[in-house]
Structure 1
Amino acid sequence: MQHFKPFTVEHRGILASIFLIFASLFLTGMAQAAPLTDEKVQSFIDTKEELRSFSDAYPGLEEASDKERDMTRPFSSVLGSLDAYPGARGELEAIVEKHGFDSVEEWAKTGDRIVMAELAINYKDMTEDNRAMMDRMMSAGNNQNVSAQALQMARQAKAQMKAIDTVPDEDIQAVRPFMKQLDPEEY
């Protein structure tokens, strides 16, 4: 009678490989962004008033941030500019934690998602004529007779439009009820 050996050396290698595959799938799934909730969107909106005071306390921060800003990640792309202002990161951390965020990075990523969802809503709600006009304006990036600043703005607009296409419907649905509370001029 032959005894069954469930875990021979060969089997251990196969089991280890299977374990690594499942572990990586599990960790990849955990790394996906959590769904935007009404509470998170409202918490982000609630930080706006305090952030006005925060910006006033650090003259030049807004201009420094604008130089680094990637309009597809309007908040997370400027976090590096905080480092030039002693105490700024800690103060911002205190503000966002008071509103339920675990970190400045979580707050910034949430803000990025909210802004992109807001832009997607605005774009989808545009009339066909307005979309065509926007497309013509963005084509300025192909024109050699426009200023470097206009070219840069056109490139950013094109990148933003590509990013809008990737906004999850769940984010759009989470942000839509808050559209009246959001002000795109503030970004």
Structure 2
Amino acid sequence: MLDPQSTSAPLFKSVIIPALLFLLPLLAAQSQADTLSNQKVASFIESVRAAERLAPEFEELDRQMENQNDGTMPDFSRIVSESIAQMRGHEAYDRLEDVVQDHGFDNLEEWGSTGDRVFQAWMAIEMAEQNPAARREMEAAIAEMESSPHMTAEQKAQMRAMMEGAMGAMESASDAPEADIEAVRPHLKALRQLGEE
């Protein structure tokens, strides 16, 4: 099951299943001041469903992108556009661009920017609804880990980096504009279904 806080899903799937994952430079020129409309969110979700059909054709790209992952938490404010940047030059890039243009986007850069905003707003909603005390819990977990006699200094450093990355991702999600959150809220059921698929 995919959810906005998972980082284990293959990166290609995170491109076509936002939320995905989660698991990603901002290429789009679209500013945050642009309105994220109800129709644009719906078109993005439909384009993701259409793009899912391409996934079996590009399993090798999936593996390549997964191998490039250095284990750090992705930047959830740019997760879709960063994955798209990694796809440049691959046959999948052009195929995916055809799909998103069929759903009303000018190009993959616009689609990626929209996906970044949808994903970030979705994460903000999920975090607010499901775990408002997550930051305090993570800070407590870090403190407990630091005092553990059962972990080496290297293990502690790795765990600390992961937890700090997760907290950074939470901060990033909490920066989602309220207008984006309100545009995404009516689509939560569809986004959650995508995540489950």
TM-score, length-normalised on structure 1? 0.69
1:104 to 83, 89, 108: 108
Matched, 1:60 2:60: yes
Partner of 1:74: 79
Matched, 1:153 2:157: no
Greater alpha carbon shift after TM alignment, 55-64 vs 125-134: 125-134
2:99 to 95, 107, 117: 95
Matched, 1:35 2:35: yes
Displacement of 1:101 in angstroms is: 0.6
Q: What's the Cα RMSD here?
A: 3.0
Is the CA contact 2:77–2:117 (under 8 Å) kept in the aligned structure 1? no
Change (3 A) 1:133 1:104: same
CA distances 1:93-126 after superposition (whole Å, capped 9, x unpaired): 1000001111101111111111110111111113
Is the CA contact 2:124–2:176 (under 8 Å) kept in the aligned structure 1? yes
Matched, 1:179 2:188: yes
Change (3 A) 1:173 1:151: same
Is the CA contact 2:138–2:167 (under 8 Å) kept in the aligned structure 1? no
Is the CA contact 1:71–1:156 (under 8 Å) kept in the aligned structure 2? no
The structure whose residues are more often helix, as a share, is 1
Displacement of 1:145 in angstroms is: 5.8
Change (3 A) 1:119 1:128: closer
Alpha-carbon distance in 1 for matches of 2:75, 2:132: 27
TM-score, length-normalised on structure 2? 0.65
Displacement of 1:90 in angstroms is: 1.1
Identity among equivalent positions (%) equals: 31
Displacement of 1:129 in angstroms is: 5.3
Structure 1 runs of 4+ with >6 Å offset: none
2:174 to 158, 162, 165: 165
